[in-house]
Amino acid sequence: MLKITIGQYYPVQSPIHRLDARMKLLCTIIFITVLFFIGNFLGYAFAAVFLAGMIKLSKVPPKYLIRGLRAIIFIIFFTAFLNIFFTAGGDVIFSWGPIQITQQGLVNALRMAVRLVMLIIGSSMLTLTTTPIQLTEAIEFGLSPFKKIGVPAHEIAMMLTIALRFIPTLMEEMDKIMKAQMARGADFDTGGLFKKAKSLVPLLVPLFISSFRRADELALAMEARCYRGDVGRTRMKQMKMRFSDYQALAVMGLFFATILGIERLAGLWGVW
C-alpha cells in the first residue's frame, strides 16, 4: 500500500510547529509565489538553502519529506521529459531523426523539476507542522473575506476536517474489503493495467456504499450534537498571532527581497 505522507501531520515540538497556522499558510503562499519569480540557478540554490534551514528548524526528518516525494516522482519525470523534448531554441546538443535535444530544453527541464520538488516540499512543510484542524481553521479564516460573495468558508473547512478524519477509517475499511475479496479468490496483483483497474470495481462499490452509510450516520450524530453550521459557534482553541509569527513574516519578506536582489544581479551579470 502506498504510504501517503503529503497532508500528514508530524507531531514534534518545534518553533515552526508553534507558529500560528494562518501565518504558516500565508508564508507558504509567499514561498510558492517566490518560486515562480526565480529564473536562475543562483536563486534556486538560495531557495534550497532557505528551505533546508526551515526543515532543520521544524525537526521533521528529511527522510520523511523524501518519502512524500516518491508518490509524485512520476509527475516530476513526466514534466521534465516533456520539457527536454519540446523546448526549441539554444544550441542543439543531440539530434536523432526528428528528435532534438537543445541546451535550452535541458535547462528548462531541470528548472521545472527543481521548482516542482521545492513546491512539494514547501507545501508539505505546512501540512507536516500543522494539525489538520488548525490548517482547516486557517483556511476558513483565509476564505472568510469571500463569505460576502457566497463562498461557504465554514462548510469547506468542515468538509476538509471530515475528509481528513475519515481517511484512515476508509483505508482500514478498504483493507478489510480487499482481504474479504481475496479470501474468495479475487486477484488484485496480476494482469495488465486494464485488468488491474477492472479488479478494483468489486473493491470500490462496497467502499462507496459504506461511505454513504457512514455519511448518513455522521450527519445524524452531528445534528444530535446541536450542529447547525457556523451559527453562534465558538472555538475551544483560539488562534492568536504572537511576536514570533511576525518574526516569521519578516523572515519571509527578507527571503523575497533577497530572491528579487539575486534576480536583479543575475540580470546585470548575465547569468542564466
Partner 1 sequence: MEYIVKTENLVFEYQVLPTEEGGETQREAALAGVDITVKQGEFVAVLGHNGSGKSTLAKQINCLLLPTSGTVWVKGIATADGDRAWDIRSSVGMVFQNPDNQIIATIVEEDVAFGPENLGVAPAEIRKRVNGALAAVGMTQYAGNPPHYLSGGQKQRVAIAGILAMRPDIIVLDEPTAMLDPIGRREVMDVVKILNREEGITIIFITHFMDEAVQADRVIVMEEGKIAMEGTPHAVFSRIDELKAIGLDVPQCAEIGLRLRQAGIDMPTDILTIDELVEAICQYK
Q: Contact 263/39 with Cβ under 8 angstroms?
A: yes
Among 172, 176, 180, 250, which residue sits at the site for partner 1 (rule: CB under 8 A)? 172
> Is residue 193 close enough to count as binding partner 1 by CB under 8 A?
no
Least separation in angstroms between CB 267 and partner 1:
47
Nearer to partner 1, 148 or 228 (CB): 228
Torsion of CA 105, 107, 108, 110, to 10 degrees: 120
Nearest to 52 by CA among 40, 43, 61: 61
Q: Residue 99 carries which DSSP code?
A: E
Per CB under 8 A, contacts with partner 1 among 117-136 are: 131-133
Give the shortest CB-119-to-partner 1 separation in angstroms. 25
- In this complex, which beta carbon is closest to partner 1, that of residue 88 or of residue 224? 224
- From residue 2, give the alpha-carbon distance in Å to each of 146, 171, 175, 201: 36, 11, 12, 19
Between 110 and 160, whose beta carbon lies closer to partner 1? 160
Q: In this structure, is the dihedral angle defined by the CA atoms of residues 246, 250, 255 and 260, taken in order, positive or negative?
A: positive
Beta bridge mates, 95: 100
Min dist. Cβ of residue 159 to partner 1 (A): 12
- Site residue total, partner 1 (CB under 8 A): 29
Nearer to partner 1, 158 or 260 (CB): 158
229: left (phi over 0), alpha (psi -120 to 50) or beta: left
Q: How far is the CB of 60 from partner 1 (least distance, A)?
A: 18
Residue list 210-239, contact with partner 1 (CB under 8 A) = 214, 217-218, 220-228, 232-238
Stretch that binds partner 1, among 49-57, 77-85, 160-168, 254-262 (CB under 8 A): 160-168
Amino acid identity, position 241: M
Give the separation between CA 196 and CA 158, rounded to whole angstroms. 34
Residue 260 in contact with residue 162, Cβ under 8 Å? no
Q: Is 13 exposed, middle or buried (0-12, 13-18, 19+ CB in 10 A)?
A: exposed
Single residue of 70, 165, 176, 242 touching partner 1 by CB under 8 A = 165
Smallest gap from Cβ 127 to partner 1, in A, equals 12
Q: How far is the CB of 234 from partner 1 (least distance, A)?
A: 5
Residues that bind partner 1 (CB under 8 A): 131-133, 161-162, 164-165, 168-169, 172, 214, 217-218, 220-228, 232-238
